[in-house]
Chains A and B, each alone.
Chain A
């Protein structure tokens, strides 16, 4: 059943990419426990506007946990305390009256803060552009049932494909490594028969683009915990394996 709680928020405010940021404290009173975390921020913003203060900038779109737009560091945890839950799906039931909540943007050198809680995640698109696709021009595809895919393979590929590109894995990783995201994207395609032709080229290109922007994984496993889609770090291991194989195979192919 719903009840109302009062909270103290400590929110990162930063006027722009180059500006200095700082924490500002806000009282969020009378928040229903049925509200989602972002609705709580909506309410705070509404009050700020009424008081003539600029609202807190944070991003969201689907508010259903599928688009990957939202993402906040809540009390030091990416997407907050509830497991397998994106920020937009987190509800205030997870908090108690009187709680103190620290809210920060994702932090990584390649995720520069744009304003307040919004960051630039284009480096993730660069990883996809470097090879996260199967090259098939429109119209060139054979009949979909021409290549059967074992159900288990399809299911595992799906587990990887479920990644919503939110960047929580990077935010949570003490090394700011994007291994989980990259591995999910690489393995989704590497596992499927359709993805075999470009498997080695893809693996090499995507991993090396990742390395241009992000840190090096030391297998902390924080990413898996933060991931709203429960992408397992097993995919990281498989990608490491594929990468070394790729280094061998691509050389043969090239030579």
Chain B
């Protein structure tokens, strides 16, 4: 079957790989491009940018999204910003430094060549977005402003108020709509991809369900591009949008695409804690708050006093205490784990004792309330809207929440999965972030993939098929896939169970959060491996999906998505169990230094784990892609 995985990384020096490769790739001449059909599933940053660029080049593109409009995709929620090695601040930034920071931030679990390319094209993204009219923040001189963002010592983050993802997505969306108007892109909204169609070992199309009419529709093409986002919603509670799910990637996985590093998930330290069992999602508060807020909990367990009644002596500023050098500004994972520790100790605050304080009273006394208001006014307003508490008077309560998933479908240097003709972009691939993503790098990666990488590399694949029309949708492979989808719908509708899909999703989320959350250990992971399938079996037996398949039926939509999340959850546990080390977002209790720092095992785990589907009920096979580090030296982090 699969030997050791070959990422097809071009030879040559790090700096010249991409340039040389672009030159050596086969091109499709402009007249021939219109003879190729490409399906792009997903219209987030990665999908919209890819589809627009392919359309501009002249390919016949079909965009499928389950959203009602491409502009809604989850990318729209990104707040902080986007990195680029522009060095406009003259503070010593460079492509190499961005590359280096990303590799290091990812705890040396990403491919050097990919990351270098990412850093290289990052500068073009800013140019492209600005030309599209993305209103990045500017200085009084009219030039672009930058801020610094977690894990970097230079100011390289471009931002558009707290709505960078929105503005970038609207830019990509406008480019996409321009191609729709030009007729190069055919847009299908409210169309959910439910099957990948394969022929001769290649991806040749997909099957979608029209979410309004329930119609099952085959789509064929020369290549299929998945840009379907991350799987953070396996935790049920996360900062991801409600509709995010793994279905597209998972159905491809079930058809043979390898799923890489599923256990790499990122937890964001500053989210608003859940207020009750009915909580439907968590809201992120910008990380920048940690610049001025001090994090603390009471020294005493179950201290019932109001925060202002607790004197300084009875407060534990635990990050400042443990990490005097970085204090409240330690990296995301360190801050998150420490918050979990104190909450697990019973020192959490708030009605449910599930948070820690983020206190601005010191900063307000020092700089004045108006300064704090001008810096964080809208964040404070948002906090008050959600919690009903005034953060100018009462310290904020925060707690970590799942935010991003580094794992995803395995892809080679050209962003093609092991399934020929299936390309994967954005958060859906296992990406360039290794075991941990730096702030403001996801937007960069999604757009790099879509604008600047895929449009080149897809030609290299397609040029082999010049003159071959796409497989007709009347071929039996399509009929089979359509039948599978139809059967699935009927299965859900005829379960006749008693509990809702959301109920099981919530239960699954609890298991995943408890066992495969911020800190994992062998016992927990083994429990997860036995409990998740048990719950899944109950789910399949006892879920209640009412209504019919030929209308807008949200329970039915969710039923399949949650089923896939169950399977993914189990795989996450297996992956986490197999990775006997701590790295980035994957923290194994068994592998930590005496100070509680993550301890990597470079000798045995400097590789990507990519899992192969073996059919339902049989555990997946773990394949490895060895990671070679020729340019950076592997070091252990320390924030003491």
Contact = CB atoms under 8 A, between A and B. Distances in A.
A91 B384 CA distance: 11
B502 A42 contact: yes
B552 A115 contact: yes
Contacts, number: 224
A134 interface: yes
A128 B174 contact: yes
Given A15-B551, A50-B500, A129-B177, A154 B137 contact: yes
Contacts of A134: 131-133, 174
A114 B181 contact: no
Nearest to A133: B174
Interface string B350-389: 0100000000000000000000000000000010011110
Interface of A: 2, 15-17, 32-36, 38-39, 42-43, 45-46, 49-50, 52-55, 57, 59-69, 82, 85, 89, 91, 93, 114-115, 118, 120-122, 124-125, 128-130, 132-145, 147-151, 154, 157-158, 161-162, 164-165, 188-189, 192, 194-195
Contacts of B243: 61
B131 A122 contact: no
Contact of A91 (B52, B174, B386): B386
Given A138-B128, A188-B135, A35 B53 contact: no
Given A2-B351, A61-B74, A64-B283, A133 B132 contact: yes
B163 A122 contact: no
B385 to A, nearest CB: 6
Interface of B: 49, 52-53, 56, 67-74, 76-77, 86, 88, 124, 126-133, 135-144, 160-161, 163, 166-167, 170, 173-175, 177-178, 180-181, 187, 189, 212, 241-243, 275-276, 278-281, 283-284, 351, 382, 385-388, 451-452, 455, 498-500, 502-503, 544, 546-547, 551-552, 554-555
Contacts of B276: 2, 32, 34-35
Contacts of A35: 275-276, 278
Contacts of A147: 130
Contacts of B132: 133-134, 136, 141, 194
Contacts of B552: 16, 57, 114-115, 118
Contact of B555 (A55, A63, A69): A55
A145 B170 CA distance: 20
Contacts of A65: 382
A91 to B, nearest CB: 7
Contact of A148 (B128, B143, B187, B284): B143
Given A16-B551, A66-B77, 17 more contacts: A32-B275, A52-B546, A55-B554, A59-B68, A66-B76, A66-B166, A122-B189, A129-B178, A134-B174, A141-B130, A144-B144, A148-B141, A150-B142, A151-B140, A158-B167, A161-B167, A162-B166
B242 A60 contact: yes
B498 to A, nearest CB: 8
B131 A42 contact: no
A49 B69 contact: no
Contacts of A32: 275-276, 278
Contacts of B124: 139, 141
Contacts of A132: 174, 177
A63 B280 contact: yes
Nearest to B543: A49
Q: Which of B133, B160, B170 has the most CB of A within 10 A?
A: B133
Contacts of B554: 55, 57
Contacts of A82: 385
Contact of B69 (A46, A118, A124, A157): A124
Contacts of A121: 68-69
B451 A138 contact: yes
Contacts of A93: 388
B128 A141 contact: yes
Contact of B133 (A42, A57, A89, A195): A195
B131 A69 contact: no
> Top 7 nearest A-B pairs by Cβ distance?
A148-B142, A141-B131, A133-B174, A144-B130, A141-B127, A138-B53, A115-B552
Contacts of A151: 138-140, 142
A136 B177 contact: no
Q: Which of B129, B135, B241 has the most CB of A within 10 A?
A: B135
Contacts of A49: 500, 544, 546, 555
Contacts of A189: 133
A118 B503 CA distance: 23
